[in-house]
């Protein structure tokens, strides 16, 4: 970033008040009677009601619209392990997005944990406070262990967004890009550069949506993950190929799809040139992608390209997913966010990109027109239809798969966050 932009970022976080979130009152607290109802002696009545039936916490407290955004600060954005306190601006930012896009209240919690088990135990002990838990910026492979254990121990949705949020948006864009290219997920030869949390989740979800695991070549710092390698983590072993390919250069030859979840400038022009006709390239490293779109388009005029950046078309942006996924899960009081709910979110996002784009979205991006095609395979984050479309798809999938404890709410489909907050 430029020096001006760096200073603007610091000023944004400091003024007019430090931070990006605050607590607000949702009921009157003006009179003596208000205070008597809010605290002693009136508060004793909901306490007794909850003690008698724990589900009453959803009636008498904010639990049902409250998500914890939790990290140990071991994998902060692209900055690495800088510790839990340094991660606080990112977690506050996540809370801001929950509120802005889905009307969900959230609290950021930064845990100074000496081990994955300590992190698991800490979160499990406070989980009853919340309606859902969003894990964030926890390094691999510990993130897999943490999420697995918490899903087993908690009866509320636990969702590691670095894994599944990225995977859901990637899968939606991938399905659409392949359709435009005249190809299918079932037949596509896929190269994934990177083998961390996001890469594993992306490939797992693509397989769940129809891709064949034998058509996927995952590459880590050592090279292609193949069946002859030893000491693989369980997550890597799931994608160990029976192949003699050993390098990215080997794997990319004739590939239909490249998914980059690694680092800058790791896909060369020469490698892109070796890909199959109408290649699909998701270069998602931030802030610098594995190959710059300008270079990619200069090499291949048939490439369909996505990145993690907002200044290029087809941004793989998690905000397209997690606010609305949690909204749908909370509103039917789901006990988990399962594979069916993730797949429903993928299909909802993919289908929305094929609908006519509203004028307010065009205005926000200063565009005269925008329609489904190589430059538009994923909805834009400012599209207000995301709230209704994705939330309803996720809620219905929770009901259909048996993890919902409430029926579809009468106020669905949702329209605007303002209407939701004023309900």
Instruction: Compute the C-alpha angle 84/88/93, nearest 5°.
Output: 140
The CA distances from residue 396 to 191, 310, 406, in Å, are 33, 31, 11
User: How crowded is the C-beta side of 72, counted as CA atoms within 13 Å?
Assistant: 20
List the one residue out of 179, 175, 189, 145 whose CA is nearest residue 163: 145
Q: Which of 94, 204, 236, 292 is catalytic?
A: 94
List the one residue out of 66, 76, 83, 47 whose CA is nearest residue 127: 66
Distance (Å, whole) CA 414 – CA 321: 15
Helices 197-208 and 161-180: crossing angle, nearest 10°? Answer: 50
Tell me whether the omega of the peptide bond preceding residue 141 falls within 30 degrees of 0, making it cis. Answer: yes
Ligand-binding annotation for 179, yes or no, is: no
Ligand-binding annotation for 136, yes or no, is: yes
Q: What pLDDT, on a 0 to 100 scale, did the predictor assign at position 31?
A: 97
Residue 3 exposed, middle or buried by CB count within 10 Å (0-12, 13-18, 19+): exposed
3-state helix, strand, coil in the chain (%, to 5): 45, 10, 45
Quick one: tokens of 153? 């121990």
Q: Which of 12, 39, 60, 365 is catalytic?
A: 39
Contact 67, 133 (CB under 8 A): yes
Distance (Å, whole) CA 102 – CA 414: 10
Ligand-binding annotation for 253, yes or no, is: no
Whether 39 is catalytic: yes
Helices 161-180 and 339-352: crossing angle, nearest 10°? Answer: 40
Ligand-binding annotation for 286, yes or no, is: yes
- The per-residue pLDDT of the chain, averaged, comes to 96
Contact 318, 382 (CB under 8 A): no
Q: What pLDDT, on a 0 to 100 scale, did the predictor assign at position 419?
A: 78
Q: Write down all domains in the chain, each with its CATH number in brackets.
A: 62-156 (3.40.50.10380), 164-307 (3.40.50.720), 318-366+381-422 (no CATH)
Q: What pLDDT, on a 0 to 100 scale, did the predictor assign at position 284?
A: 96
What are phi and psi for residue 21, nearest 5 degrees? -135, 160
Kindly give the parts of the chain with pLDDT less than 50. Answer: none
Whether 245 is catalytic: no
Q: What pLDDT, on a 0 to 100 scale, did the predictor assign at position 422?
A: 67
Instruction: Output Rg (C-alpha) for the chain, integer angstroms.
Output: 22
Residues 126-140 have pLDDT tens digits of 999 999 999 999 999
Q: What pLDDT, on a 0 to 100 scale, did the predictor assign at position 1?
A: 77
DSSP state of 308: S
Ligand-binding annotation for 317, yes or no, is: yes
Contact 349, 170 (CB under 8 A): no
Q: What is the separation of C-alpha 377 from the centre of its chain, rounded to a whole number of angstroms? A: 17
Q: What pLDDT, on a 0 to 100 scale, did the predictor assign at position 423?
A: 66
Residue 283, classed as helix, strand or coil, is strand
Residues 161-216 have pLDDT tens digits of 999 999 999 999 999 999 999 999 999 999 999 999 999 999 999 999 999 999 99
Q: What pLDDT, on a 0 to 100 scale, did the predictor assign at position 95?
A: 98
């Amino acid at each position: 970033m430029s020096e001006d932009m760096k200073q603007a970022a610091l000023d944004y976080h400091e003024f007019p008040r430090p931070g990006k979130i605050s607590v607000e009152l949702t009921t009157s607290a003006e009179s003596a009677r208000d205070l008597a109802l809010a605290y002693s002696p009136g508060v004793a009545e909901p306490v007794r009601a909850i003690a008698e039936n724990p589900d009453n916490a959803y009636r008498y407290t904010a639990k049902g619209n409250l998500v914890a955004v939790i990290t140990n600060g071991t994998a902060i954005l692209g900055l690495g392990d800088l510790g839990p306190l340094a991660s606080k601006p990112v977690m506050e930012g996540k809370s801001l997005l929950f509120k802005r896009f889905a009307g969900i209240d959230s609290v950021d919690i930064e845990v100074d944990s000496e081990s994955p088990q300590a992190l698991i135990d800490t979160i499990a002990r406070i989980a009853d406070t919340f309606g859902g838990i969003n894990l964030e910026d926890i390094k691999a492979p510990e993130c897999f262990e943490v999420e697995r254990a918490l899903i087993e121990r908690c009866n509320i949705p636990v969702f590691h967004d670095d894994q599944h949020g990225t995977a859901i948006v990637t899968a939606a864009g991938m399905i659409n890009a392949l359709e435009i290219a005249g190809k299918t997920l079932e037949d596509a030869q896929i190269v994934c550069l990177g083998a961390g949390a996001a890469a594993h989740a992306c490939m797992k979800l693509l397989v769940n949506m129809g891709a064949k695991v034998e058509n996927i070549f995952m590459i880590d710092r050592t090279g292609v993950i193949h069946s002859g390698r030893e000491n693989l983590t369980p997550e890597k072993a799931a994608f160990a190929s029976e192949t003699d390919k050993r390098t990215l250069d080997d794997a990319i030859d004739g590939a239909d799809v490249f998914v980059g979840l690694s680092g800058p400038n790791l896909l060369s022009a020469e490698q892109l040139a070796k890909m199959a006709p109408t290649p699909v390239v998701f270069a998602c490293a931030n802030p610098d992608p594995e190959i710059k779109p300008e270079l990619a388009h200069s090499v291949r005029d048939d490439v369909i390209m996505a990145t993690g950046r907002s200044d290029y078309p087809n941004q793989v942006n998690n905000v397209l997913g997690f606010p609305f996924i949690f909204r749908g899960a909370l509103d039917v009081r789901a006990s988990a966010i399962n594979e069916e709910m993730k797949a429903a979110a993928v299909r909802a996002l993919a289908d929305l990109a094929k609908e006519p784009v509203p004028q307010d979205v065009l205005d926000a991006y200063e565009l005269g027109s925008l329609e489904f095609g190589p430059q538009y395979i994923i909805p834009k984050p400012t599209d207000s239809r995301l709230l209704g479309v994705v939330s309803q798809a996720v809620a219905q999938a929770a009901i259909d798969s048996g993890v919902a404890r409430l029926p579809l709410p009468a106020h669905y489909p949702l329209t605007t966050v303002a209407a939701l907050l004023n309900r």
